[in-house]
Amino acid sequence: MVVLPYTVAFLLLSSLQTVKIANSQSFIGINYGQVADNLPPPPSTAKLLQSTSIQKVRLYGSDPAIIKALANTGIGIVVGTANGDIPGLASDPNFAESWINTNVLPFYPASNIILITVGNEVMTSNDQNLVNKLLPAMQNVQNALNDASLGGKIKVSTVHSMGVLKQSEPPSSGSFDPSYGDLMKGLLEFNSANGSPFAINPYPYYAYRSDTRPETLAFCLFQPNAGRTDGNIKIKYMNMFDAQVDAVYSALNSMGFKNVEIVVAETGWPFKGDDNDVGPSIENAKAYNGNLIAHLRSMVGTPLMPGKSVDTYLFALYDEDLKPGPGSERSFGLFKTDLTMVYDVGLSTSSQSLAATPQPLQAAATNTSTDTSTNNNNSSTSTSTSTGTGTSTSTSSSTNNISISRGSSSSSSNKVYLNRIFNLGLLYGFMGLSLICLFFFLVFLGYPHTLFKG
């Protein structure tokens, strides 16, 4: 009976640790762009985020009102320098120091800034001046952080489009465009030396736009499909997201940097588009984002990186009604500006369930104009203003389209579902056993004369 308290303590700690693992979900983030004139106040957005399982937010600039609103929430914050700031950051260390003094030091550590992204999709911007100055800019920002004794606490990186890959099919043959040569090597050496991530923007949505067959849609939406086999390594891929991420991993590996962490800085699916758009719909957006979240929560990983989930920032928190381009560019938001959901993918902590289980194969393949959303908020475009906003998601790259040879029929969706049920069962089992042990322990404490009588 003497060991009973220790048993109870152990089981309680085990169950609490299980709860912590189940609820942390630090790999789920979201993009918060601001190319809009109807966004809710930052404090309202902070409260919204706290009501979800979203643990990280990526900003395309460094808006002080947003950073302040996220103070003391524990939510990780990614801030960004604008592409237009890169020449100044590269040529003047004092400018980099001033940027850190203005955009980081007044807020940290109350606001949990975890990463600074220097520019967005610079390597594929066709601006050779920016491309050549990207690495020196990153180095000066890193040096400024080091001087402020924050070098080991806040990372520095940049964000790439899938266009930096020359080959992505099959994933095991993924490689970077050799035209980037030493520039890419220098960036990867920087990532490796500073422990910062290689951030990439994979969009299965754009892969589907270039191959609109029903089987491709199912493959992109994590829905039941026959799978596509990587003939080099005899591994079957069941979804485009894994194929794209593994192509990036193979490219890193081919250059000797397989230990550099991959972060998915953007991925998403529009819920609405123009009449001639193929792919946007509420059904498809809910299927993609919901099934992606379920996939990440399963901790299954990818075929080349099993057993872990890469940090993934969904695109996007709100629509951005001022973005140029086709209608789909303004329709990526998961939430409306009145803070209600455009569609439910199981992010709310009050309603987290198995709602994000695989969607039926009959998801719409074309745009539906009768959806219920009038949400206009944010997405992201390449701009060089001081409040930076983001990304050229409208340009579809051929590297987004990974057409691996098909294999026999199989589905990982059910495995993900069963994995989640098993994890929940394990959690509740631990908690139940702990409560039973605690009950008997309390009985033991309350009635010693009975237990030791005689």
Residue type (1 letter), 399: T
Token pair for residue 135?
Answer: 């690495």
Q: Using an 8 Å Cβ cutoff, are 192 and 262 in contact?
A: no
Half-sphere exposure of 61 (CA within 13 A, CB side): 19
266 is catalytic: yes
CB-based contacts of 96, cutoff 8 Å, min separation 6: 89, 137, 140, 141, 143, 144
Check 266, 283, 320, 329 and give the catalytic one.
266
Q: How far apart are the first and last CA of the chain?
A: 16
- Tell me if residue 341 falls in helix, strand or coil: strand
Amino acid at 451: L
Collapsed DSSP state (helix, strand, coil) of residue 31: strand
Q: Is the dihedral of CA 124, 159, 50, 20 positive or negative?
A: positive
Distance, in Å, from the CA atom of 43 to the CA atom of 49, rounded to the nearest integer, reads 10
Q: Indicate the pairing of strand 198-201 with strand 56-59.
A: unpaired
Write down how long the chain is.
454
User: 148-179 as b/e, with b when 16 or more CB fall inside 10 Å?
Assistant: bebbeebbbbbbbbbbbbbbbbbbbbbbbbee
Q: CA 121, CA 136: separation in Å to the nearest integer?
A: 16
Candidates 405, 392, 396, 402; CA nearest to 209 is 396
List the one residue out of 239, 269, 286, 236 whose CA is nearest residue 408: 236
Three-state DSSP state, 403: coil
Residues annotated as catalytic are: 121, 266
